[in-house]
Each structure stands twice: as structure tokens, then as C-alpha cells.
Structure 1
Amino acid sequence: MGIPTEPIGSIPRPAELLAAVQAHAEGGLSDAELGEAGGRAVADTIQRLEEAGSPVVTDGEQTKPSFLTYPIAGLSGLDPDGAVIPFADGHTRQLPRLAAGPFRYAARAETYLRAAREHASVPVKQAVIAPSALSLLYPADGIDGYPTKDFLDDLASEAEADIRACLDAGAHAVQLDFTEGRLSLKLDPSGGLLDDFVALNNRVLERFGDEERARIGVHTCPGGDQDSTHSLDVDYAGLLPKLFQLKAGNFYVQLASEADPERVLAVIAEHLPADARVFVGVTDPIDPRVETAEEVRDRVLAAARHLPADRLGTCDDCGFSPFADDTSTSREIAFAKVRARVEGTALASERLGV
């Protein structure tokens, strides 16, 4: 079988799709025409992932507005002036703010999964946004007639339904994107916000049985967007012990871009739950240089010095284009890095005899 390897999620959109999105926004393209362009991009993405040897694929998030906002795209009751996320290079992303309840998802990840499975000949995983990220939509001063408790009740139910629908639709795995975990320690160094995030996510994860949680994972990274990050300067030692308290069977941990991966691996080895697998990042989507298969192999072998090979997997550090307008990484580089990850993981599996 070898060491498993999986993509995280997003792949840069082709130029045709980006042009179609722009034309649709300007009123020059119909919903149907935009849907057709998105469908072609999904089919091409899956074909190219399979050609790169990927044993598990995603739709590359080709038709999501972003990894974060897909459940609320087009939702009423939102104002634009929500939480602002600053990145190291000075650019920002701003969330909307919930102005009225009750909170409901406007779209579910299951629709992306079903569309992808029509084109795939290998298992398909599906990324969903963690409820902790969407909790940032709720304003600090509250909403008249819709208290925080009611919002969190609604959010937990919606997040559970999003995950469960993907499992029921045949997802190989469902991955909760939890990039806000590391960011929370920058916003609140005391760790209180991170504790709240973990508790909220576990409130959802605990609704699933052991067999279901074995197919559910959590991804953490310092937020890659436009070749920058929002929390790479935050020490992993503050995050990982609490991350591994989440009731998930798999953890996808950005590692290739870490300054001291050996130190991080030691923390992972100390705190990884006995029944969980960790997929370590072996390619850096922000770095334009394509890793060689031998570099990937060596990164896996380094991880195997800290962790049993049967509890290891590999992944990319982050998605390559988590927001639809991020064109900082080319589609060609993304697929080249995927191929290096797959081939390097196979080399490591051979060396380790697994």
C-alpha cells in the first residue's frame, strides 16, 4: 500500500475559468455558461491530478469562491464589514459580518464532491470549512434577537450536516480547513480563542462515530494567499498540543515551509493521538521552486525518524489557490509539485519497506 498521500484542496484556476468569472460578474456571461466553464475546469483538474499519479484527488476548488466563504456565497443577512485578516506582505482579506439570524448555509460542499466524482477514477476527498472559522462571522456586540448561543447551535448543526452529506455521498475523506487555529494565537496569545475554536469544532466532531471520524481530518497551516501567510511567525508548539485534542482521525500539518521541521516533528510525536494519522506537508505551494522527488523522499524519511511509518501520510503544505482571485502560483507549477509529492512519497515508502 505504501505511505498515503493526498492533496489539500485548491489548485490555481485556468485562465478560461478566471475570465468566465470576471465576465459573469460584469453581466456578460450567464449562470449556465459560467457553470459550463467551471465544469471544464473541474474535469481538467482531476484528469491532470490523476496523470500526476495522485491516488486521491479533489476538484481543486475550481468553482468555490474561496475555501472559506463557499457556504455563505449569496446568503442574505450579511454586511461587508466583518473581521479583517492581515497577511505578512501587507494585504488583507475581510470576512462579511452576520447581521441577522438564523444562520444557515447557502451551499454545501456535497455539491462539489458529487460533481468531482463524475470525472474521477480514483477516490475523491472533500475539503470543508471548519465551524470555528465561520464563528468569526458573528459580531462582537451581538445581534438583537439572535444571541450567541443560538448562533453557535445553528452553526454546529449546519457544519455537521455539511460533513455528513459528504461522507454519505462517498467522500474518501472529509477535511476541515482550520487555518484560523494558528492565527488565533496571534489574535489572542493567551490561547483562550484557540480553546474556544477547539471546543466548537469538537462539539461537531463528537456527533460522529469512530468509523466516521476515521474518515474526517483537520488541516492546519499559516494561511497561504498571494505568496504570503498570516501566522507563520506563530510557534507551532502553542498550537499542536491543542490541535491534537480534536476528535479527528487524520491531521494534515503544514511542515515543508517550517524553519525547524525537526522541532515540529518532535512536538507531533509527543502529542499525536494513538489512533490518528498525520499527513506532513512535503511541498510548499508558496515557493515557486518545484521540489524534487528526492527532496520529498528525504522529508518523509525525516518524519519517519520521529513517527511510525504506519501513522504517516504526506500532503502539500496548503492549497495552491484558496481564494479564486489568487494567481500567484501557476497551474503548471502546482501540478509539478503534486507529481513530486507523489513520486517522492513512493520513494520513501520503498526505502521504509511499507
Structure 2
Amino acid sequence: MKIILAPDSFKGSLTSAQVIEKIEAAAMRNFPGCEVVKFPIADGGEGTVDALVGVAKGEFRSVTVKGPLGSPVEAKYGIIHKDTAVIEMAAADGLPLIPEKERDLLRASSFGTGQVIREALETGYRKIIIAVGGSATNDGGIGAMTALGMEFLDKEGNVLEPIGGNLALIADYRTDSLCPELAEAEITVMCDVDNPLIGPHGATYVYGPQKGGTEEILAALEAGMINYADVIRKKSGMAFHEMPGAGAAGGISTALVAFAGAKLRSGISVVLEASEFEKSLDGADLVVTGEGRLDTQSVRGKVIHGIGSACKPKGVPVVALVGGMTDGADAIYQFGVNSVMVIVNGVMDLEQAIADAGKLLEDAADRMFRMIKIGKTL
């Protein structure tokens, strides 16, 4: 029996590797000697580099860059298939890098992410995958592009510091000194949100509050982001104001598309393709996936949706183990997922469920495999 384990992490409790460990233990108890193929999965947030390097048997590199508020940070990135660099924005400019009381969206910059991209390009890599989840910034990506050689100018022609608070001052930009290797690069941004750059569902108002933005700061940043989008449209003809995905990670998607020719793609699609997941389905009897919470967002291109959609054409059954399941989440059955099992086995609060996640998961996996054994006898 060949079983593929391809779960996401259970946010706040278990990494995808730990989830696999618990499910594998239950699989071995119920089907001794079975073949277990492990695919730790991430869809563009923290853990994406680890997941891809692990599955593709790649390697890690690191570089010292400026963190979101300018302090030095050792940022890790990955190399897979010998020709592709995988970069996590969270490694250089992630929210956890700034203590909550020190978060300052007006000063935060994505410069460090640009430094990692430049390092990969100058080392010789021309295929770049960027996971943009978990950022601490709201600078429209001007920090990253400045690290890659761009200059953003005010109305007097002065070069601006690339921080969120200066978006409102941008009157022009220069690309003359862009890193020359960028013209040869194929950049893919893993983007699983459809937020536009501006507006009530845009980068600033949806993600700004969790990054420390007050009502006053958010209003200033939104005005700056509108100005920034207007300048890009006037100079290039490209409109990002309402483009789905342009607001990802404080707007860095806008900059990478506008100035680096990047393509936005579903994070889980990129991960499954880069890890050659479909090849592993040959001869598979079952795929087990999962995540902390299955909801209506899960049906819009998240991990379980991506796994089910990949397995459906090949006729491989899929079961998902999840921490919780909301109304409407059963729509996932249309996308190749055959069954969902919630791991919580009694009345408990969220804190207890998180604390006991490992045991709850392994117990649920054991119950699942026992049911599968019954099914094999019918």
C-alpha cells in the first residue's frame, strides 16, 4: 500500500513535518510495511522554503540583509533543482522580526527582500520563486526595488528613502540602474490572496492593522498607496489599483510585476509543480492532507484544494485531517477530496486544542486508518 502524506502546517501548533510524523505513526500501526511518501506542504507563507528544499532535496543559503526596520537579519533562502532560488519574504521582512511594541508601518521597508533577490541573481540563479506571506511592511515593494537598483523620486527630483511613509511623496521613478541580471530572470510570486492594492479590501486596510497600523497611520498609507499606483499608471500605463493580488504583502506584488516582470501564481500550484508532486501519484493508493482550519477560503486555492485537484484526474482518493471545519467547507468535496475528519474529539477551548494538537491528530489519524481497513473488507 502506497500512502502519500501531504499536509499543510496546523498554524500555531504543528509544522507540516510534525503533522506528517503523527499521521505516519498511525499509518504504520494500521498498515505495517506500507510505503509512506512524505510531502511537507506550504502555500506561500512561512515554511515554504523548508518545505520545497526538503521535498526537492535542495540546499539552503543565507545572506545578511536589512530587516524591516533596518537592523541586520540573517535571511535563509533555498536552492532547488540546481537552478531555482526559493525566497521567503518573511525571512527578511517578516512580522515576527519586530516586537509588537516596535512595529512602525511608516518606517518599515521591504529592502531586505530585495537584497535576497539580488544575492540570488548575482550568484547566478535566473529562476526565482518568492513566497510573500507574513510580511511586516506596507511600502508597495519600493524597498525591494530600491535594493535592486531603482530610485523613487519626489517632485523636486530628490531620491526618497524607500519606506511606507514616503509613498505619498513619489512623483517619479528611475529604472536605469536596475540590477542587470533582473532582465534575464523568471520571477514567480506565490500569491494566494486576491486583495487589490487599494481600497477597503486592499493591502493597507486588510493587513495593516495586524502590522501595527493605527487608524491615522492607515489613512496616511492608503493615500500614499493611491499616489504610488497613480504614478505607475501615468508612467507605464499599467493599472494596479484594483488588480487582484496586487495588494499581497503590503503591495510588493505590484512592484515585482510592474518593474521586474514577475508573474503571480497560486502558491500551492507553484509548490506542487516545484516538488513534482504529480509524479509521486503513480501507484498511490491514498493521499492524506490537512490543515488547521478548513473553511470557505480553503476552497479558493489553498493546500487541501490544490492537493485534491491534483489527485482527482488520476483517481487517487484524498482524505483531509483538519483542526476545525466551518459551514460551507464541504464544498471541498467538489475538488477531489473524498472525506474530511475533524481531529477534535470532545468539547474543548481553542487553547486546549492547540496544546493537545499532536495527540488529537495522531488519534484521529488512527481512527481514519481503522475506517479505511473496514472499507477494504466491504
Bigger-Rg structure (1/2): 2
TM range (shorter): 0.3 to 0.5
Counting strand residues as a fraction of each chain, which structure ranks higher?
Answer: 2
What is the TM-score when the length of structure 1 is the normalising length?
A: 0.37
